[in-house]
Amino acid sequence: MNSFTLLIPTYNRPDLLERLLLFLVSQRAPFPIQIHDSSEEATRQVNRSLVRALALNLHYVEYPSDTPPGDKWQRAADGVPTPYAAFCADDDVVFVDAIVASVEFLEANRDYAACHGYYTYYNVNEHGRPVFPPCYVAPSIEGTTIADRVLQQVSRFQALIYAVFRREVLADSLALATQCEMPHYVELAQAVGTVMRGKVKRLERHYYVRNIVTPMSPTRYGNPIVWLSHDPLGVFEHYMKYRELVLTFGAETCEGPLDPQMFDISHAFYFGNAYNAAWFEQLVREEHGSAAVAAVAAARGPDIFGTDPHHSAHHDAFLYDYLQAPDARSQIQLGEKAFQMGDFDAATRAFAGALKQDPYNAEAWCNMGVVFHQVGEMDLALDALDKALELAPGNRDYTMNWAMVALAKGNVNQAIDAFEGLLRRFPNDSEIMARIQAITGRAVSD
């Protein structure tokens, strides 16, 4: 695969770099990989030996140890020799098949600037079990105008820096971002610059796992609400600089200028959505003590320090198992487990994963139909159950589910015909009899 290059910046973390590269070896990464190393000399010696020893298409690039990270990233992006590229941090891992799928998507869709998938964090809980809380899962950015895409990106902001990019978009968006002075606006500018150049696709598949090397905390410049609480003037001084840079970028490199007022309105949503309950509680506790936390909770209610429901324990456990699932059978079992827990999104992903591996699996099609029925998508439910019955004609359970969906859609006669057909084949089946009696109001004798 000579159309894509993976860029790995690294600095004094040889163990983590080795972990990432061995993971890429295990996936038989078919593309060239560039290591951009500004480590101290002792670490570089370790990294050089590692690069020589691995069966990968590796190119090792060295920088002075005092090279600013932004300069290193920009030089890496500017030197990409292929039409597509992506960064991967040395403490993260990326899935090769998702990279390949992203490149294929971009090659087929010229109006998209970048493509990626679902991101999770990696951590280990107090019981020593790996957990994978979701990280970046927001929908694709597919507005037809620049203003639409900027609003979609900043109103539910999630970073784009690790996506697969068209080479020129990656270089240009980084050049924009590195003109910002504060890290907070660097990340924001890189993402906004990307969506100004085109749409961004999020494939419905696992793409990237981020490693939490140190616990995340409400650093002054990391979260805009925390920054605002310390330095409101600084927040908006830097916003105005960022605003001018991005609007100029749009006028010079995109199909048309962006209206400044719409740009500001979009960022009002961004700042409003930056509130993080856990960080807010930690900030109040550190700045004002536990008594202040209790006072705020009493005044505003305990939900002000609520937790994110997406980080639930059962979701972490499900995702860990999902990533380990080797075949369609295992994914079907995981989907059934998620369904029983009421996590219909997770169930849908698992059954879809099973069908990706085995498109002719009637059980997976039936289970997909049951999930669609549960969430009220009746047409999709019937389509899935039709497919299940096409693959397994006459199956009792599949037919029962099909009849229940038909009944929910108001197709009473079709439902009765299906149940009565089953009863002729299973004349002593009390469940079928009960279904017919519930619909018709007449008792069915066995």
The domain locations on the chain are 4-215, 325-440
Looking at the predicted structure, is the pLDDT value of residue 265 above 80? Answer: yes
Comparing 107-116, 157-166, 175-184, 190-199, the range with the smallest average pLDDT is 175-184
Rounded CA-CA distance 137/121 in Å is 12
Domain 4-215 has CATH 3.40.50.300: no
Domains 4-215 and 325-440 share a fold: no
In this prediction, residue 292 carries a pLDDT of 56
In this prediction, residue 219 carries a pLDDT of 45
Comparing 81-85, 99-103, 330-334, the range with the smallest average pLDDT is 330-334
Looking at the predicted structure, is the pLDDT value of residue 14 above 80? Answer: yes
Looking at the predicted structure, is the pLDDT value of residue 414 above 50? Answer: yes
Residues 79, 83, 87, CA angle at the centre, nearest 5°? Answer: 60
Comparing 194-208, 331-345, 366-380, the range with the smallest average pLDDT is 331-345
In this prediction, residue 430 carries a pLDDT of 87
Rg (CA), the chain: 26
Q: Which residue has the tokens 């240009």?
A: 172
Rounded CA-CA distance 406/404 in Å is 5
Rounded CA-CA distance 110/407 in Å is 44
- The 10s digit of each residue's pLDDT in 38-85 is 999 999 999 999 999 888 899 999 999 999 988 999 999 999 999 999
215 burial type by CB count under 10 A (0-12 exposed, 13-18 middle, 19+ buried)? exposed
CATH superfamily of 325-440: Tetratricopeptide repeat domain (1.25.40.10)
Q: Which residue has the higher pLDDT, 312 or 431?
A: 431
| Most confident region among 24-28, 73-77, 360-364 by mean pLDDT | 73-77
Q: Which residue has the higher pLDDT, 255 or 371?
A: 371
Query: How long a stretch of residues is the chain?
Result: 446
Comparing 79-83, 151-155, 211-215, 263-267, the range with the smallest average pLDDT is 211-215
In this prediction, residue 321 carries a pLDDT of 47
pLDDT, average across residues 253-270:
80
Looking at the predicted structure, is the pLDDT value of residue 381 above 80? Answer: yes
In this prediction, residue 253 carries a pLDDT of 79
Rounded CA-CA distance 312/131 in Å is 10
Looking at the predicted structure, is the pLDDT value of residue 212 above 70? Answer: no
Residues of the chain above pLDDT 70, percent: 81
Comparing 5-14, 282-291, 301-310, 326-335, the range with the smallest average pLDDT is 301-310
In this prediction, residue 220 carries a pLDDT of 46
Rounded CA-CA distance 40/66 in Å is 9
**Quick one: which of 62, 11, 66 has its CA closest to 39?**
11
In this prediction, residue 307 carries a pLDDT of 40
Please say whether the beta carbons of 83 and 166 come within 8 A: yes
Q: What is the mean pLDDT of the chain?
A: 83
In this prediction, residue 278 carries a pLDDT of 56
3-state secondary structure of 192: helix
Q: Which residue has the tokens 């900027």?
A: 150
Q: E strands along 171-309, which residues?
A: 199-211
In this prediction, residue 98 carries a pLDDT of 95
Could you tell me the two tokens for 197? Answer: 């150049």
pTM over 0.85: no
Rounded CA-CA distance 400/366 in Å is 10
In this prediction, residue 316 carries a pLDDT of 43
